Structure formats: structure tokens, C-alpha cells
A and B are shown apart, each in its own frame.
Chain A
Amino acid sequence: MTPRVVFPNKLLPYLLVAPQLAITLIFFYWPASQALQQSLQREDPFGLKSQFVGLANFRKVLADPNYINALQVTVIFSVATAFVAMAVALLLAVQADKVVRGKGFYRTLMIWPYAVAPAIAGMLWLFLFSPSIGTFAVLMRNLGIAWDPLLNGNQAMALVVAAASWKQISYNFLFFVAGLQAIPKSLIEAAAIDGARETKRFWTIVFPLLAPTTFFLLVINTTYAFFDTFGIIHAVTGGGPGKATETLVYKVYNDGFVNLVLGDSAAQSVILMVIVIALTAVQFRYVERKVHYG
């Protein structure tokens, strides 16, 4: 137990958290309550007439096979993106840690992609892999791969996962590098003296000690894959082909802003809110227990 800290000033703490509270209220609670209200209504796009329908929107959304499809797509996409982004970042961080000369230079280069906006990253990948004009598309065709993400759903998925991971690798890399630096060199040296080889040292010492970082990144990457990848999907596939890359977030956008079915769209965003709250709660409650903070 940490000792309870008592502040003598009654007002100051509230004043200090007030800006953060105000931001949360305006940018989270207020829109969330609007979404909640809209999810119980059926309304025309212009808001000329609206009707209270109770939970009808939720029933319809949950009975829609396309919604179940979007759920599956989201799970596949998120797991793949989080895994690829973290695994590659970890590998790069471990390798960069070994570099003696020009460490700073390598690290700076690795961090660059993080500064690229999702939509721009999406366009970049779209051009590189565009079936008719893309540099990589031509390369792949020369290798005998029938590259056509416009019609092949799996290829389209691979493309958005690659683009989304690429963008997140820098962020993960930064944290892994920091995490690696915090691991006492003496531990690793001691293990080396005891005869543990590099792989053994990594899995028995480095990886467990990185657990807090890994856990933190797992939470961040899951939320990233859920929400921040909208721009990439919008730019690269638009949810297609068919509905092969339509994630839950993309479906919220598509139903609300393209198809103008606001009730359905609001109901979906409320469900999404519940999913994410639950996911984060589970992560903190069960996964975090296994994390060793040292």
C-alpha cells in the first residue's frame, strides 16, 4: 500500500485538474451523450423529424450479418496490426540497442514515420502498391504474384495492416528503446557470464523486464488499431473490396456519413464505446496482473 498523501489546500487540486476535466467533458462526455441520445432515435439526415425508437437500432445492428462481418474484420485487423507493429518495433529496438556508432542517427530515422498523418501514410502505400502504377505492385507482378488488392480481399487486408503497422512501429520503437535502456546491464552481463546465449538472455531477462512497456504498448496499439486507422483504411481501400476491410469504425462512418442512417451509426458507436471500455478493463484487470513492474 502506498501511504495516503493529504494536501492541505482544498481548492487547488480541483483547479489543477479543471482544464483536463473541461476537455474531457467537452470532447468526450458531451459528444458521447449525443451519440447515446441519437442511438435511441430514428431521424432523417436533415434532422427535420425524429422519432424515439428505444433499442430498435441496436437490435437491427446486432442482427445485421454485415455488422458481424465488420466485427470479425476488426478483430483480425487489430490483432494483426498490433502484433506486427510491436514485433517489428521490438526487433528493431533490440538491434538498434546493439549499434555502437551512429545510434542517435538510426533512432531518429526510425521515429520519422510517426510524424506522418494516417491519411498521408495511406496514400503513400496506396501509390506504392496500386495495381497499375505502383512500384511494388510491378515488382510483385514480376515475381509472379497476382497482386490485385482492388478485388482480392486478403491482399487488401494485408495492405492496410502493413500501412497501419508501419506508421505505428516508430512509436513502439521509441518506447521499447526507452524500456531497454532501463534494464540494468549488470543483469545481462551476469547471465552472459553464466553462459546464457543471446537468445536465451533475451527471452529470460530482457523480454520479462520489458513487460510493463509491452503491456502499455498493447493497450495503446489496440486502441490505435481500433480508431486511429480510419484515415488509412479510408485512403487505401475505402472498406472494400466487398466488405473485406470494413472495420467497426469504418462502418460507423460509412453508415452515418455516406448512407446517412444516423440512428444505426450512433448505435454502432455506442456499442463500440462499450467494447473499448470492456477491452481496456479486461486488459488492466487480467493482463496487467501478469506484468512485472520490477
Chain B
Amino acid sequence: MKFSAIAGGLAGGITLTLLTTTSSFAVTEIQWWHAMTGANNEVVETLSKEFNESQSDYKVVPVFKGTYPETLNAGIAAFRAGQAPHIMQVFDAGTGVMMGAEAAIKPVADVLSMGAKPFDKSQYLPGIVAYYSKPDGTMLSFPYNSSSPILYYNKDIFQKAGLDVNTPPKTWKEVWDAAKKIKTSGAAPCGFTSTWLTWIQTENFAAWNNVSYGTNENGIAGTDVELKINAPLFVKHFQELADLAKDGTFKYGGRTSEAKQLFLAGECGIMTESSGGLGDVVKSGMNFGNGMLPYDETAQGAPQNTTPGGASLWVFANKSDEEYKGVAAFFDFLSQTPIQARLHQVSGYLPVTLAAYEETKKSGFYDKNPARELPIKQMLEKAPTENSKGVRLVNLPQVRDIENEEFEKLLAGQQTAQQALDNAVSRGNAAIQQALGN
């Protein structure tokens, strides 16, 4: 019955029932499903412990559920089986999926209103909160770990290549030039690499250069979206990447954050990566510098602003008022300025509240760690345009997969950038329409 593995995998996975222990004590248990590993997992455990010790009415129980997509799937399966957790961490690309399921979730704004303190949306960072809100402004999920892509460069390699170690490249053209110099001088086998070609080189590329990713404000204003990523600026950018890939000046690492290894191993001199990846780079002990995400020098008004990535916390529907009060108490706890400031300074993720940002600024933390302020500056220095509020699609994980497949064929030399992006647009549009049920 090998076959049952697959038929069972599909149907069984959906009806998967989870063994949840129902506590008979007066303490209300709050289940928190998350996808954090390593150092970030320790943060989750510490926060839960501190919250549980700070009061005696509620008990937050964090449960690790695998990668981001696995956690999302586990939550969906549990919801279908009537066993949903209270809080689930959902990655940025899953935001549209959750928004599409209004009956399954309870907006965080409603949950926070049930708590002890009045809910004031204005104390949260606007750029982040806007992404996790409905078009009418209702905040749907709680931003837990937000990040933005920035530039990393290896100072030792820069030195060897004869580049100025104190001036990170600002534009893509400068990046290409520096990368070529690194390669030809033999300072490193590869000049430039990037994690997340979808999130960084496509979604954030659009926002940062103020070009449209898709119609309807990239899906923020409405779910019916037509992709625009085969516009000339995207084609130019990806053709340049593909040309550099031919002799290894640009090296592809993988679909998510695998390319970080190429940078940490000293194989590539420059990398674009999430600000959340800072911890690993610091840990490696390498001599590195940071810069803002590069922009295209031919784009009008660039740089505009980058958009938040990372993940937010969603609350499931159909729970008791007592449980929602517990969730609200926990979110209040997370919003406290000292906690937010500490989270931000330890993890490299962005602070969620303005007060935490101000506090960190005042403490002089950014003077010592200027890289930590880069993602915030990138996101906040300019008010977002219709191109730069973020990308939200009902099936963004699927569209990213499609983009990745086309990018891989491009970088393998099987098609031109124009063909790759045209294919991504037509396949992506078809997938969006299908997901909308049209």
C-alpha cells in the first residue's frame, strides 16, 4: 500500500487532528504556532516564558511547526479539523492567503480592543501596519518580525579588489562594476549574489524604484491583480543579472536564503539579503559592511521606499472571549517599549512601535550599529506611493514559485529576460485568476 502514502497524504493531511491538551486549570492556555528556528526560536521561548511569569491568568504555549509554508499548512489543516491554534505566525507572502479567508480569522484590531488597554493603531510603525491592514484600514494581523532587504559587502574582498571599503555601491550599476572588479581581480570567485530573487529583486525592486509590480496598487487596493513585471526596467535588470551569471560574476544560490552561505563562505563579495539575516553574518565574525538596497540609476524618483517582509501573527476565529482577552494581553505585552526595543536590537528585525524606535535611537544604539537603522530608514524616509506599499496576492507563494522557475531557466541560459518575465506574467496572471475562482 505504498499508494496510500500519497492519497492519504492529501486527504489525511487536511483532516489531520492534533492532540491538544485541554487544561482543566483556571489558567487559559493560548496556543502559538510559529516557524522560528535557532536564535529566533529562543526569542519566542523567552518571550512566552516572560509573559507567563508576568501574570497568572493566561499561559502562552509556543509550538514550532516547521518552515513558514509548513506552519501555514498546519494551521489551515488544523482549522479545517476544528483544532486551530489561537495565534499563528504567517510569513509575508501568506498575508493574502489569510486575508482571503475572512471567516477563519479574527482581525487583530478587534482582538486588541477586547484587551485591558484601549487599542491605538497610531503607536505602530505606519509602513509595516499598512501592509497588514485591510484597504479600509482595519489592522488584521500583529507584525511580529518585520525585515527589509539591505546590501552586505565583505570588506576584506573589497580591499583585495582595490575597492573603497567605506563606500558601499549605491546603484545597481555600481554593484555590477564592483562585482566585475572583484571577479577580474581574483579577489573572490564571484562578485555578487542575492537571496530571495522574488522578494528582493522583484517585489522590493519595484517598490524601491517606484515601478508597478501589478495593478490595483500591487494588490493592496484589491485582489484582482494583473502582473506588470515584464516592464522594461525589470527586463533590463534581469538581463543584466543573467549576463553577469554567464561568467560567474553573479552567482545564483537558490530560491530562498541559501545564497547567504555563498557570502559567508567568502565566495561572493557582495550580497543583498534581508536585514533579518544580520545575526548570522555577525556571528560568522567576518569583516563586513552594510549599505542601503541598491536602486536603478535610470529609474525616476528612485530610491523610493522598501517594503516589509518577515512575518506577522494572525488570530483564528471561533475562540472564546476569555481566550481573546489572553491573546490581547500577550500582544500588549509584546508591544511594550522595552520588549520591542530589545527584540529589535537582538534580532535585527524591525521595531513594531514608534516608541521602541525612538528609544533605540536615544540609547545611541544606531551610532554603534548604523546597519540596524538602514531598513527602517529605507522604509520610512518617503511616504509610500501606489507602487511601494508592498505586494499582496491571494496566492503570492504560488506566483513566487512561478517566478523562481522562470528565473532559473533564464539564469541557465535557456531563455532571455524578456521571455522569462513574459512567461512569469502570463503564468502568474492565470494562477491569480484561478485562485480568485474566475
Whether A38 touches B408, Cβ cut-off 8 Å, given contacts A46-B79, A254-B401, is no
Beta-carbon contacts under 8 Å, B393-438 to A: 395, 397-398, 401, 404-406, 408-409, 411-412, 414, 431, 434-435, 437
Query: Is B222 close to A, CB under 8 A?
Result: no
The CA of A261 and the CA of B394, in the complex, are separated in Å by 11
Binary contact track A244-267/B, C-beta < 8 Å → 1, others 0 = 000001001110111111100110
Chain A to chain B contacts (Cβ below 8 Å), 8 pairs: A48-B104, A227-B2, A227-B6, A241-B408, A253-B9, A257-B69, A257-B73, A272-B6
Whether A28 touches B6, Cβ cut-off 8 Å, given contacts A242-B412, A257-B69, A258-B69, is no
Chain B neighbourhood of A132, CB < 8 A: 253, 261-262, 265, 267
Query: Is B151 close to A, CB under 8 A?
Result: no
A31 to chain B, nearest CB (A): 4
Query: Is B49 close to A, CB under 8 A?
Result: no
A261:B412 contact, CB within 8 angstroms: no
Q: Which of A27, A152, A240, A266 touches B1 (beta carbons < 8 Å)?
A: A27
Query: Is B19 close to A, CB under 8 A?
Result: no
Query: Is B5 close to A, CB under 8 A?
Result: yes
The CA of A262 and the CA of B434, in the complex, are separated in Å by 12
B6:A44 contact, CB within 8 angstroms: no
Query: Is A47 close to B, CB under 8 A?
Result: yes
The CA of A260 and the CA of B74, in the complex, are separated in Å by 12
Whether A46 touches B6, Cβ cut-off 8 Å, given contacts A153-B412, A240-B408, A241-B412, is no
Chain A neighbourhood of B401, CB < 8 A: 254, 258-259
B76:A243 contact, CB within 8 angstroms: no
Chain-A contact segment, one of B35-43, B95-103, B270-278, B337-345: B95-103
B103:A38 contact, CB within 8 angstroms: no
Q: Which residue of A lies closest to B316 (CB)?
A: A46
Query: Is B370 close to A, CB under 8 A?
Result: no
A139 to chain B, nearest CB (A): 16
Q: Which of A27, A46, A240, A276 counts the most B-chain CB atoms under 10 A from its CB?
A: A46
Beta-carbon contacts under 8 Å, B96-133 to A: 97, 100-101, 103-104
Query: Is A269 close to B, CB under 8 A?
Result: yes
Chain A neighbourhood of B79, CB < 8 A: 46-47
Query: Is A179 close to B, CB under 8 A?
Result: no
Q: Which residue of B lies closest to A32 (CB)?
A: B7
Q: Kindly state the interface size class of chain A when it binds its partner.
A: 35 or more
Binary contact track B1-14/A, C-beta < 8 Å → 1, others 0 = 11111111111111
Q: Which of A23, A249, A258 counts the most B-chain CB atoms under 10 A from its CB?
A: A258
Whether A240 touches B8, Cβ cut-off 8 Å, given contacts A257-B13, A273-B3, is no
7 shortest A-B CB distances, which residue pairs?
A34-B11, A241-B408, A259-B398, A31-B8, A31-B11, A28-B4, A151-B412
B11:A260 contact, CB within 8 angstroms: no
A258 to chain B, nearest CB (A): 6
Query: Is B255 close to A, CB under 8 A?
Result: yes
Q: Which of A42, A256, A276 touches B10 (beta carbons < 8 Å)?
A: A256
Chain B neighbourhood of A240, CB < 8 A: 255, 404-405, 408
The CA of A204 and the CA of B395, in the complex, are separated in Å by 59
Chain B neighbourhood of A262, CB < 8 A: 14
Query: Is B238 close to A, CB under 8 A?
Result: no
Chain A neighbourhood of B398, CB < 8 A: 258-261
Query: Is A108 close to B, CB under 8 A?
Result: no
Please list the residues of chain A having a beta carbon within 8 angstroms of any beta carbon in chain B.
23-24, 27-28, 30-32, 34-35, 38, 42, 44-48, 132-133, 150-153, 223-224, 226-228, 230, 238, 240-243, 249, 252-254, 256-262, 265-266, 269, 272-273, 276
Chain A neighbourhood of B255, CB < 8 A: 238, 240
B72 to chain A, nearest CB (A): 9
Q: Known pairs A28-B7, A132-B267, A224-B2. 4 more at Cβ < 8 A? A: A27-B1, A150-B254, A252-B9, A266-B10
B69:A28 contact, CB within 8 angstroms: no
Query: Is B361 close to A, CB under 8 A?
Result: no
Chain A neighbourhood of B15, CB < 8 A: 34
Q: Which of A44, A252, A266 touches B100 (beta carbons < 8 Å)?
A: A44
The CA of A133 and the CA of B1, in the complex, are separated in Å by 39
- How many residues of B are counted as interface, with CB atoms below 8 angstroms from the partner's CB atoms? 49
The CA of A31 and the CA of B16, in the complex, are separated in Å by 11
Chain A neighbourhood of B411, CB < 8 A: 151
A165 to chain B, nearest CB (A): 17
The CA of A262 and the CA of B2, in the complex, are separated in Å by 21
Query: Is B252 close to A, CB under 8 A?
Result: yes
Q: Which of B8, B69, B265, B435 touches A261 (beta carbons < 8 Å)?
A: B435
B434:A35 contact, CB within 8 angstroms: no
A269:B412 contact, CB within 8 angstroms: no
Chain A neighbourhood of B13, CB < 8 A: 257
Chain A neighbourhood of B160, CB < 8 A: none
The CA of A267 and the CA of B255, in the complex, are separated in Å by 27
A150:B252 contact, CB within 8 angstroms: yes
A124 to chain B, nearest CB (A): 17
Q: Which residue of B lies closest to A280 (CB)?
A: B3
Chain A neighbourhood of B319, CB < 8 A: none
B10:A151 contact, CB within 8 angstroms: no
Chain A neighbourhood of B97, CB < 8 A: 45, 260
Binary contact track B48-72/A, C-beta < 8 Å → 1, others 0 = 0000000000000000000001000
B2:A261 contact, CB within 8 angstroms: no
A150:B253 contact, CB within 8 angstroms: yes
A243:B405 contact, CB within 8 angstroms: yes
B3:A24 contact, CB within 8 angstroms: no
B407 to chain A, nearest CB (A): 9
A31:B4 contact, CB within 8 angstroms: yes
A28:B412 contact, CB within 8 angstroms: no
B5:A227 contact, CB within 8 angstroms: yes
The CA of A254 and the CA of B253, in the complex, are separated in Å by 21
